[in-house]
Structure 1
C-alpha cells in the first residue's frame, strides 16, 4: 500500500494505491492510513537538521475481528523542501518477519515506476511465504532490458524478532532501573504508555519492550504508535501497552486514565505519571542478578546485533531460572496433560512464591501454559 499525507483532506491522509486490488479485511483502507501518519501535523522536531530528506521505518499491529493480528511494516519518506508530498510504503502481513520486509522495501525503492512495482508484487505474492532460512527468488524484467533476479531470505535467527527489534534505542535513553520497572509492569499486565518525539524511536522502544517478556506474549492491547484520532484508547480499563508521539501528550491530561497507569517519556527517561510507589515485583535474587547483568552490558562497548542477542539472552536466563524443570508438572494420574500450577509453585524457592502467585493469574501465563499443554498432548499421540 502507498499512503500519502495530504493536509487538505479531512482525514489528512490519502490511500494512493494498493496491491492486491481487493482487501481481505474491509477495515484495512480506513484503518491503515492513520497509522502511517498518526500525526495531525508533520514537523521535523527531533530530527537531524542536516538531513534534507527523511526516510524512517516503524511498525504497527492491527487486531482484526477474529482476534488475530496483522503486522504493518512502514517506510516513510519526507523532504524538508516540501517538493515531494510525504508518502509511506506499507506492507500488511500475518507474519512479523520485518527483516524480510526490509529487503522487499529495498527493491521497491529501486524500481522505476508504479507499473513495474505492481508487476514485482504480483510475482512475489505468487510465491509461498518462505520458511526460516529459505530464499525466494523473483525474476523481473525492468525497462524491457535484461531480467533481474531479486532474492529474499527469511532469517535463520532463533529469535527472529531480533532481526528487526533493536534494544539499543531503549537502553540508550532509559536507565536499567526504568527498564526493570517497565518489565515488572508488563509482567503485572499493567497500563503502560510511552511517548517520544519521533516515530522510529518510539516504535523501536515499544517493540523492544514487548520482546523483553519472550517466550511469553503480550495478550492485551498493543499499539506501538497511537494515532491522535484514537486517543480514547488510553481510557480503556483492560491492560494496554501504547506508544504516542510527544505532541499528543497534552491530550492525555484531558482523559480519565486508569489509576496506576505508567506514562514514560522515552526521550528523557522521566515518568510523567506513575503510582506513588512503583513496585518491582520480581523475585529479589533474580532481580539483583538481572540488574547487574544489564548494567554490565549497558556500560560495555558491545553494540549492534551482539548487544541485542545478549539482552535477549539475559532476560531469557531470568525465565530459565524460574521455570527450570517445569515440564515435570505436566500430566495427572489419569493420563491427562494438564499443568499442575500449585505443584509447580511449591517446587520453586520461597523467594519466588509471591511473584509466581501473581504471575500465574496473568493472561500471558495462561496462554503460554495452554500452548505447552497442547504440545505435551501432541507428543504423546
Structure 2
C-alpha cells in the first residue's frame, strides 16, 4: 500500500511540476483520491475497544539474515513462524500475505550494513503496517544475538498484533529472549500460551503460566495502564531528543499534514519518537503514511507529494538530501536540529496557546515535583502531564465544536456549522489557524466521527471539553494555564 502510493505520488509530482500546479492543487487531488477509497476513520481508542475480546497477537515470526549472492551483503528473511500458516481467521486474505512479505525489510532496515559480531546489545523497537482500508498491524520487535560462541549475526523476534500496547509486548519479547537463550524450543510453547490469553482491559492484569526447565511453572503477569492511549508511547525519549521549541514546530507541521522525516542513529529512538509525536495529536488521528523506520531500499517513498511521517537511519541522510522531496521538514533527533525546513513552522500555532504549551513543557520537572501533585491513587508522571497539556491545548482550540453541531437545512443530516464554529473563537490567531486546520483530513475525520455518533461514547477529550465549557461559557484565549492547575 505504501509502495503503491509512493509510485503513484512520484508520477503525480512529475505531471504537476510540468504544469506548474500549486501545493493547494496537489492537496486537492490527494484528498479526492482518498475520498474515493473511503478509508475508515480509525482511532487507537476505538480499535482497542473493538478488539477487546480478541487474542493478544495474531502472528510471531523470527527474521534472520541470510547471505545474498553475489557479494557479501545480507538479506533478511522469515526463518520461523507461529502459527505456521497465515489463515483467513488470523490475519485475513491476500493483503495479509503481502504485508507479511514486507516485515523482514522493516525488521532489518539496515541489513546491508551488518557483519557478524560477537557483541551486540539487544534492542526493542516497533513499526506499523497500514492496509488500504486503514487497518493496522502493530509489529513489535526485539533484535537479539542468538546464543553461541564466536561472531554471529543478530536476529529479530517480531510479534504482529492489531493492538497498540508497546510496553506490554516489550515485556513479552524480553521473556521470549530469556527462553531463547536457555533453549530455542521453549519459545513456541510460550508464545502459544500467550496467544491463548485474553487481552486485558485497561487497568487490569492477566497472568500467563508457562513451564521453564530448572524453574518449573512460571507465572508471567501482564498489566495494562488505565489510560490505554499512552500504552504505546514514551514522551521522555522525544523530549530528550528535541527541545520544546522544535518539538512544537514538528507538532504544528503534523497538524497541517505536512511531510516530516525523523533521522536518528538507533532504531528504538526512531520508533519511540515517531509513536510519541503522533500521540500528541489526540483527539485527532494521523490518517496518512507512517513508517517509523524506513528501510534504505524504500527511501523513494519520501518523494511522494502526500503527507507522511517517516523515520530513517542516519546513514540514509545524504541520499535523502539528494532526492527531489518537496516542502519537507527533516529533523535530526540526535543533534536536535532541522536539516531542512519550510521556514514558517514557528508561526503556525496560535501564539498565546503555543506560548502556554511551551511554558508547561519547559517547566515539566518543577510541575511534577510540586507538593500535592501526586495524591491518593493517582500517579502524576511525565506521560500524563504531557498528555493533559496537549489535550488542554485542543480543548481550548476546538473544544467548543459541540456548540456548533446541528441539523443541516439542505441535507437534514447532523453536521458541524463550520463558519460559526471558526468565527466564534475569541482569538484572532486561533481563527486563522482553524481556517487551515479545518481543511485537513484529521479534522474532517474527527468531525465525521462526531456526526455519526451524535455524542455517544466520551473519551478523555470529550470529558475535558465538557468541564471547560462548564467553567468557561465563552471560550477564553487565556484560560489554558488555569486548566492545568488540577493536573494529577
> TM-score range, shorter-chain basis?
0.7 to 0.9
Residue of structure 2 in register with 1:353 after alignment? 431
Separation in 2 of the partners of 1:333 and 1:162?
36
Residue of structure 1 in register with 2:341 after alignment? 274
Partner SS state of residue 165, structure 1: coil
Residue of structure 1 in register with 2:27 after alignment? none
Partner SS state of residue 330, structure 2: strand
Residue of structure 1 in register with 2:257 after alignment? 189
Partner SS state of residue 216, structure 1: coil
| In the alignment, structure 1 residue 88 sits paired with structure 2 residue 147 | no
Query: Given the superposition, is the C-alpha separation of residues 167 and 150 from structure 1 closer, same or farther in structure 2, using an over 3 Å criterion?
Result: closer
Partner SS state of residue 403, structure 2: helix
Q: CA deviation at 1:117?
A: 1.7
Q: If each structure's helix is expressed as a fraction of its own residues, which one has the higher value?
A: 2
Q: Is the 8 A contact 2:224 2:231 kept in 1?
A: no
Residue of structure 2 in register with 1:76 after alignment? 143
Q: Which has the higher mean CA deviation after the structures are superposed, 26-35 or 357-366? A: 26-35
Query: Given the superposition, is the C-alpha separation of residues 299 and 274 from structure 1 closer, same or farther in structure 2, using an over 3 Å criterion?
Result: farther
Q: CA deviation at 1:256?
A: 1.2
Q: Is the 8 A contact 1:15 1:29 kept in 2?
A: no
Separation in 1 of the partners of 2:424 and 2:368?
39
Q: CA deviation at 1:281?
A: 1.2
Partner SS state of residue 22, structure 1: coil
| In the alignment, structure 1 residue 5 sits paired with structure 2 residue 65 | yes
Q: CA deviation at 1:180?
A: 1.2
Q: Is the 8 A contact 1:171 1:298 kept in 2?
A: no
- 1:349-374 deviations in whole A, cap 9, x for unaligned? 14211101110110111111111222
Q: Is the 8 A contact 2:250 2:345 kept in 1?
A: no
**1:123 aligned residue (193, 199, 218):** 193
The 5 Å alignment of 1:143-162 reads 143=213, 146-156=216-226, 158=227, 160-162=228-230
Separation in 1 of the partners of 2:445 and 2:344?
30
Separation in 2 of the partners of 1:61 and 1:328?
36
Tell me, which stretches of 5 or more residues in structure 1 are unaligned?
45-50
Q: Is the 8 A contact 2:124 2:170 kept in 1?
A: no
| In the alignment, structure 1 residue 329 sits paired with structure 2 residue 397 | no
The 5 Å alignment of 1:52-67 reads 52-67=119-134
Partner SS state of residue 450, structure 2: helix
Task: Let me know the Cα RMSD of the aligned residues.
Answer: 2.7
Q: TM-score w.r.t. structure 2 length?
A: 0.70
Q: Is the 8 A contact 1:12 1:40 kept in 2?
A: yes
Partner SS state of residue 361, structure 1: coil
Separation in 2 of the partners of 1:202 and 1:323?
30
Query: Given the superposition, is the C-alpha separation of residues 336 and 64 from structure 1 closer, same or farther in structure 2, using an over 3 Å criterion?
Result: closer
Q: TM-score w.r.t. structure 1 length?
A: 0.88
**1:237 aligned residue (305, 309, 312):** 305
Tell me, which stretches of 5 or more residues in structure 2 are unaligned?
1-60, 370-378, 458-488
Residue of structure 2 in register with 1:362 after alignment? 440
Query: Given the superposition, is the C-alpha separation of residues 273 and 144 from structure 1 closer, same or farther in structure 2, using an over 3 Å criterion?
Result: closer
**1:373 aligned residue (451, 455, 463):** 451
Residue of structure 2 in register with 1:32 after alignment? 103
Query: Given the superposition, is the C-alpha separation of residues 163 and 82 from structure 1 closer, same or farther in structure 2, using an over 3 Å criterion?
Result: farther
Separation in 1 of the partners of 2:295 and 2:84?
26
Partner SS state of residue 260, structure 2: strand
**1:19 aligned residue (59, 82, 90):** 82
Query: Given the superposition, is the C-alpha separation of residues 229 and 373 from structure 1 closer, same or farther in structure 2, using an over 3 Å criterion?
Result: same
Separation in 1 of the partners of 2:341 and 2:214?
61
Q: Is the 8 A contact 1:58 1:73 kept in 2?
A: yes
- 1:90-120 deviations in whole A, cap 9, x for unaligned? 1111111112212221322232433332122
Q: Is the 8 A contact 2:285 2:442 kept in 1?
A: yes
Q: Is the 8 A contact 1:173 1:269 kept in 2?
A: yes
**1:344 aligned residue (412, 421, 425):** 421
Q: Is the 8 A contact 2:75 2:111 kept in 1?
A: yes
Q: Which has the higher mean CA deviation after the structures are superposed, 108-117 or 366-375? A: 108-117
- 1:148-191 deviations in whole A, cap 9, x for unaligned? 333322332x2x34344212222223222111111110111101
Q: CA deviation at 1:299?
A: 7.6
Residue of structure 2 in register with 1:47 after alignment? none
